Every structure is written in structure tokens, then in C-alpha cells.
Chains A and B, each alone.
Chain A
Amino acid sequence: MDYETLRLIWWALLGILLIGFAVMDGFDLGTAALLPFVARTDGERRVAINTVGPVWEGNQVWFILGGGAIFAAWPPLYAAAFSGFYLAMFLVLLSLIMRPVGFKFRGKVKDARWRSFWDWSLCIGGIVPSLVFGVAFGNLFRGVPFGFDADLRFHSTITLFSLLSPFALLFGMVSLAMIVLHGAAWLNYKASGAVAERAARAMGWAATAYTFLFLGAGFWVMQAQGVRITSAIDPNGPSNPLLKTAARVQGAWLQNFSDHPLLWLVPLFAIVAAGLAVAFKRRPLLAFLMSALVPVCTIATAGAALFPFLLPSSSEPDMSLTVWDASSSKLTLGIMLGAVALFLPIIIAYTGFVYRVLHGRVSEESIAGDSAGHY
């Protein structure tokens, strides 16, 4: 396999891992974000928490693996994105740290204030990452001010507040609405009683919000400045972002769509899937599968628009990171592809097994009295 093909495969795998994270961890982030709103009594909250209790930990590995895979396959992106978005990343880490302890510690003490504290921690732990990941994507579309010196040392003038532009915040809201919809669809499928009913109502609100926000973000991107490579591209060249030129061009993020009009189906499916999720809410599994399609199509839309850019620079567009100049060596990409091809099917198989063992709705009766197992 040549270097170009490996890079393309790893670009697709990056998307698949992000989608895996948004679909799998998305529903438990969404469940946590909705927790205080769809579940009011302690019994109801335990129902909501126990729908994700046995599986959220495995789901979160998609996030950890996403980080590891970016490190292994796209080291310059790993270095630039995480150090550039330093404080945003710190916020995400803190809110994610609250989740394992929140899930585990909440039920360990029978005290209303103790439980309420962890409920809100879980809620914030669901909202903040959903919002920040959207904001991060917004900043990819907007471009961030960074460059490299001759030793390829990254430098930037990014601050937390420069990341929080209205444009990027709109993307954050798209992401939050998408995750909330997915979480509501999960609760509608897996919870029971009042929790499931309130979740079903939340689906309608979330899908409506998602549709308008997604369209709004799309129209704003059309007006925004994208980046386009202006020198010859060597898809097999060394991973060094100093060897090309690029320019900021208005509407550049629509270039791939006008070159390949079939791509328009991807954002269209995103909106249709959100609508179908609501339409099918009386057939909960189908509705959940539809809501899972929303992050799939949303992330695919962003990827299709940005390709081949991974991290566009607004201050020094020449130094933007692209698929062609920000990957690992050919050997590492090949080894990592082998590892993914070997382990990903195994992971999917045993994850499927776990979900099958845990089939069935969670109700207050099904978790009553059992102090050892359930949260």
C-alpha cells in the first residue's frame, strides 16, 4: 500500500473514531446532560443513571482511543490541537474526570445533598464536553492563528476567549443539540415510566433545535473564509507542513461539495435522520438508530467540507496541517492499520455481547433494593 492510500485510510479512520465516540459515548453524555431535567426523584434519577451505568465506561474508551489514534497517526495534529486549545482541553478533562467518580460515588451515600451534587456534576460532565467539541470544530472552520518554526515547533496566539467566537459557539450548540437528541433517544429506548416519557418530549425539542442550528452553521460556513492549497500537492511527500503554500479563500469549504455534488446528500441525511428519530419515537429502537445517524452524518459533513485540511491556520495558512503533511511515517501508519484491523472487529464483537446481556428496559422495580450491583 502506498503512503497516499494509507493517509486516506487514516483520515477515514480518524472520522470513524470520532463518529464512534459521538455515537457511543454521545448517548451517555446526552443522558447525563438531561439527567436533572428528565428525572426528578431519586428513584427516577437512578433509572436514568442505570441505563448507562454498565456501559458508559466502555463507551468513553472511544474518546481515549481517539486521542491515542491521533497521537499515533497524526502526531503534528495531536501536538498542535491539544496544546493550542490548552484551556479548553483542560475544561474538558476536568468535566470528564467528574464522570467516573460521579457514576461510582453517587449511590454510595444515602444523602439528598450528596446525590444532588453528583447529579449536577454528571450533568455538567455531559454538557461541557459536548459543547467544547463542537466549539473545536467551529474553530477548524474559522481557522486558528498558529504556525511552526524551522524546527517544527508549534506556536500560536490562541486564547480561551479567542476560541469562543459566536461562530464557534454556534457549532458548540449544534453539537450539544445533537448529543442531547441522542441521549433522549437512548432514554426513550432504555428507561421506563416518567423518565422515558419526558425523554420522548425532549427528543422533539432537541431535533428542532439541531435542525435550525445545523442549517444556520451551514449558511454561515458558506460566507466564511476557508483555506485552499495553492502549490502542487505531493500526496506521498514527507510530513512537513512547511513545504506548501495555501491561501484563505471565501467559500473554500464548499469546494468539495461543488466538485462532488453527491456529497450534499450527507448533510441532507443528517437533517432527515433527526426528523425520523422524532417521527419513530413510538418505536424506540428504530428512533435510537436514527438519532445515531445524526452524529454520523454531521461529522461526515464537516470532514467532507474540510478535506484535506486537518487544522487550518488563519494567521499562516501555508502552515495549515493537511492529510498530506501531518501524518506519521508510512511504517507507523501501516502497523497501526494492522492493529486496528485486528482489534476493532473484536471490540465490536464483545461490545455487542455486553449490550445483549444487558437487554431490556431499566425501571425502578428492576433496580430496587440491590445495593451491590446498581448505581
Chain B
Amino acid sequence: MDIVELSRLQFAVTALYHFLFVPLTLGLSILLGIMETVYVMTGRPIWRDMVKFWGTLFGINFAMGVATGITMEFQFGTNWAYYSHYVGDVFGAPLAIEGLMAFFLEATFVGLFFFGWDRLSKVGHLIVTWLLAIGTNFSALWILIANGWMQFPIGARFNADTMRMEVTDFMEVMFNPVAQAKFVHTVSAGYVTGAIFVLAISAYYLLRGRNIALAKRSMTVAASFGLASALSVVVLGDESGYTAGQNQKMKIAAIEAMWHTEPAPASFTLFGLPNMKERRTDYEIKVPWVLGLIATRSIDKPVPGIDELVTMAKTRIKSGMIAYDALDKLRSDRGNTQLRATLDAHAADLGYALLLKRERADVQNATEDEIARAADSTIPNVPVLYWAFRLMVAVGLWMIALFALSFYLSARRQLDRYRPYLWIALLSLPLPWLAIELGWIVAEYGRQPWAVEGVLPTFLAVSSTSASNVLFSLMGFFVFYSALLVVDAFLMLKYIRLGPDAAIGRTAHEEAA
């Protein structure tokens, strides 16, 4: 493997791993806030016990999230140095603001959440818990503003003097429609994860016939919060689909394995076997109209297919070559205004010309063959996206059904009545993580070959460090993270088995006495 593949693998491993912990932190922080609010409003100690118990599990998970997040903040510099140079002027700002506005808040108050029970008033501690939850959620907002820009790079333009993208309108970067849709979709998915976590572990207690009062109350909160969140994930997932339909047509076409443009309104393929080599999908089962409605919100606009998008990419590559030629000449003739005008006119396609860098250094002299190969390289891995998307959606629909059933049972106060239901709730525990990791794959693997859509190809974005360095760190992270995951799972299981009484500790005994 070369340095590009190693760096991509390392980023995928560390990001997917970090993303095992973040969604649970997002969801549990809000659930803790809700439970503690009930405690402060009703004064019933069982609600405080719930906050302390779920808080203990939250703490174990939070430590892992923080530990693996440290890597993410620095990995752009260590492994994606050219990316950092090329788009740091835009991409760095939301990351820094995340630290200022969100992570400081979250990390400062997480200490008081655990250590402040005896030092703060009831309301004081409640405020601390909500500040922790707000910090966590703001954190996700700024990270997704940064990520949204990689999917839909607006509010910036190329500067030939500094050889990089620079911000022209920060409001556009901040209020990027893709970022907004992704933010709500992603935090809702986090809320679903938190809700399933509480639901499944409470179901385990009910199955064992222990801690029944605490488990039933926890399930009631999880059921209603989870139902609202699961509906929001799907609705906002649809919003993501719509915004992606506006700017990442290739991603939509690949998810659908739609090789040719279909007459409007496009149909959605429920099942099929995408064939990358022959560029067709075998054994398709189609549902008419659905894709057209999702991607264009209309019945008369076509959704372009992969072949047509490749042809469009060829045009953009040729336009980009003109931009690159002007840029190259500008290096020795910095004052030439005519060259600058040519560059500006074609700057939007410069990224497409950079796709040719894999073929040759002097991309302005590329041959038709090389252009065709570069245009083909804009097709992401169709079968992976096709299946990852379908599995994710299936899990999402399952969640809605599960939460709707839970909500119904909790309204009828029959949560502990049906053992098969409790088993289903318990066994659904891993599903949100599956959906979330698949969602990451659809969004980020589906962005390939781009690091920043249409602006910077991934293979150019890497650092110039040696491949052996990256191999070494990749193996290091792999071994280290695997060991930590074992310890994390061990502690989680230990504290779930010990149950609420152990987590609440002395306080419970005092009350009993």
C-alpha cells in the first residue's frame, strides 16, 4: 500500500473508532439533562439515582470519546498536510471555534458533573448538566460545519498568490445548507444511540427482575425521546439526500447504482447487484418515482446517471486545465492580469484538473486518454455505497418501529409485561452503531475521490512523510485502540452488571438508613 491508502485507512480507522463513542455521548448527555430536570422538578430521589447510574456509564464512554478525539484534531496536520495548507484558511476556523465555544464548555463542566454533587445546589448541578449537554451538541455543530464544507465548499475561492482556498464569505460557510442538514441528522442519530442504550440495558434489568422501578422509568424516557429522535433522523436524512442531490450528484447516483440518467421522476431501486466493471445493475427491483421525489422534490426534474456525470466531469477537467495552465504561467509572471483573469474564469474547475496529477505533473498537457481516466476516477465504489445506504435505512426504519412499540407499551404501563419485547429491545443494542458507521461510510467514502468535493482530490491531500511512518502509526493506533476497546467493554459490562446500587454508592445506603 502507498502513503495515500495508508493515510486513508488510518483516518478511517481512527474516525470510525472515535465515532463509536461520540454519538452515545451526544444522546446520553441530553437524557441525563432530562432525567435530572425531572428530579429537580419532582424532588424524587430515584430520578437522581438514575442520573448517577447512567452518568457512571456516560463517564466511561466520555473518557474514550475524549481520548480518541485528541487524535482527530491533529491528524489533519500529521497525515493530511497538503489538505491543511490548501483549505486550512476555511476548514481550520470551525475547528478552532469548536474548541472555543463548545469543547471548553463540555470539558470544564464534565468535571463538576461528577465532582459537584455535594458542592452545588440542586438547580446549580442541573445547570451544570445542561451546560455539559449543550457543549457536547455545539461541538457536533462546528465539526459538521467543517465537514459540510468538504461536501459542499461554498464561501471560498482559490488564491493564486498563496496557492490555496481562502474564505470569501464566512456566513456562507457557517450556514451551509449541507452542514445544517447533516448536523440535525447526525445529532438525532446520536440521540437514538443514547435512547437505545438506555432502553436495552433497562430491558436487561427487567428481564433479570431487578432494579425494576429505575429501569421502567428509564425506559419511559428513552422510548419517547428515542421515537422523536428516530423520526428526526429519517426526515433529516431525507433533507441530507435532497441537499446532496443539489451538489453531490455523483454520490446520489452511486448510492442508487444508477448508471444512466432516467426520465423524470426517477425510480428508486429497492434491490439489485451493482456491477462496477460492466457498469450496470443486475436483478433490479424498482420503486417508481421515489428517487426523483427525494433528490429533486419534483416529478419533472431528471436525476443524472453515472455515465452522464462522467461526461460532465470531462468537460470540467478540460476547463480546469486552462486554469492550471494560467496558474503555472503566473508563477514566473506574477503581475500578468490577463493570466489572472483566465485563471479566475476557470478557477471553479481547477480541482478537476488536479485529478490529472495522478497521471502527470504538467496536467495542462494531458492527453484525451488521461482525461478519460481522470473522469472515470470520479466514480466512487458503487456496490459499497449501494449496500451501506440500504442497510442504514433498514436499521433506521427498524428503530422507528421499536421506539413506536416501546412508546405504546410505556403509555399503557406494560413495559415489563412481554419478555419477547424485552429481548428484542436488548438485542437491538448494537444496531444504532451499525447504522452510524454505515452512515459515515456513505457520507465520506461516497465523497471519494475528493477530499473536498470538486476542489482537492484525496490523493493530493496527503503529507509528504514516509509511508513507513504512517504504517507504524497505523499499527500503533490499531493495537492501542483495540486494547482500550477491550478495557472499555470490560468496564461497561462490569458496571452494568453491578447495576445502579453500586453506582449510586454511599448515598443510597444513607437514604435506606
Interface residues of A (CB under 8 A from B): 53-58, 60-61, 63-65, 67-73, 75-76, 78-84, 86-87, 89-90, 93-94, 96-101, 103-105, 108-109, 150-156, 238-240, 328-329, 331-332, 335-336, 339-340, 343-344, 347, 350-351, 354, 357-358, 369-374
Contacts and interface: CB of A to CB of B under 8 A. Distances in A.
B278 interface: no
Contacts of B423: none
A103 to B, nearest CB: 7
B39 to A, nearest CB: 15
Interface in B473-490: 473, 476, 480, 484, 487-488
Nearest to B52: A372
A351 B63 CA distance: 20
B115 A53 contact: yes
B99 A64 contact: yes
Given A55-B111, A239-B162, A61 B88 contact: no
Given A86-B473, A105-B487, A344 B119 contact: no
B147 to A, nearest CB: 14
A329 B463 contact: no
B495 interface: yes
A75 B105 CA distance: 25
A236 to B, nearest CB: 12
A374 B115 contact: yes
Contacts of A371: 502, 505-506
Contact of A65 (B67, B89, B96): B96
Contacts, number: 256
Interface in B436-468: 463-465
B84 A93 contact: no
B479 to A, nearest CB: 10
Contacts of A105: 60, 63, 487, 491
9 contacts: A53-B115, A57-B108, A57-B110, A64-B99, A83-B78, A105-B60, A154-B463, A350-B109, A351-B108
A69 B93 CA distance: 8
Contacts of A336: 93, 96-97
Nearest to A347: B104
Contact of B491 (A65, A67, A84, A108): A108
A65 B99 contact: yes
B360 interface: no
Given A86-B463, A150-B331, 11 more contacts: A57-B66, A71-B88, A71-B91, A82-B77, A82-B84, A108-B494, A339-B100, A343-B97, A343-B101, A357-B116, A358-B115
A112 to B, nearest CB: 17
Contact of A152 (B73, B85, B100, B167): B85
Contact of B88 (A79, A155, A238): A79
A10 to B, nearest CB: 11
Interface residues of B, number: 82
B120 interface: yes
B67 to A, nearest CB: 4
A238 to B, nearest CB: 4
A238 B331 CA distance: 14
A372 B56 contact: yes
A152 to B, nearest CB: 4
Nearest to B491: A108
Nearest to B473: A90
A97 B71 CA distance: 8
B164 A75 contact: yes
A354 B109 contact: yes
Contact of B82 (A69, A87, A153): A153
B120 A357 contact: yes
Give the residue among B59, B60, B73, B162 with the most A Cβ atoms within 10 A: B162
A56 B98 CA distance: 19
A240 to B, nearest CB: 5
B506 A370 contact: yes
B63 A86 contact: no
B170 interface: yes
Interface in B140-196: 159, 161-164, 166-168, 170
Interface string B104-148: 110111111011111110000000000000000000000000000
Contact of A335 (B63, B167, B463, B464): B167
Contact of A332 (B85, B93, B117, B495): B93
A358 B115 CA distance: 8
Nearest to A238: B161
Contacts of A89: 74, 77-78
Contact of B167 (A150, A332, A340): A332
Nearest to A87: B469
Contacts of B95: 68, 71-72
B451 to A, nearest CB: 13
B503 interface: yes
B75 to A, nearest CB: 9
B240 interface: no
Contacts of B64: 100-101
Contact of B79 (A83, A103, A151, A340): A83
A358 B119 contact: yes
B104 A354 contact: no
B40 interface: no
A212 B163 CA distance: 45
Contact of B70 (A55, A64, A83, A370): A64
B323 to A, nearest CB: 14
A343 B138 CA distance: 13
Contact of B96 (A68, A96, A98): A68
Contact of A94 (B93, B117, B480): B480
Contact of B480 (A75, A97, A153): A97
Given A72-B88, A239-B162, A97 B119 contact: no
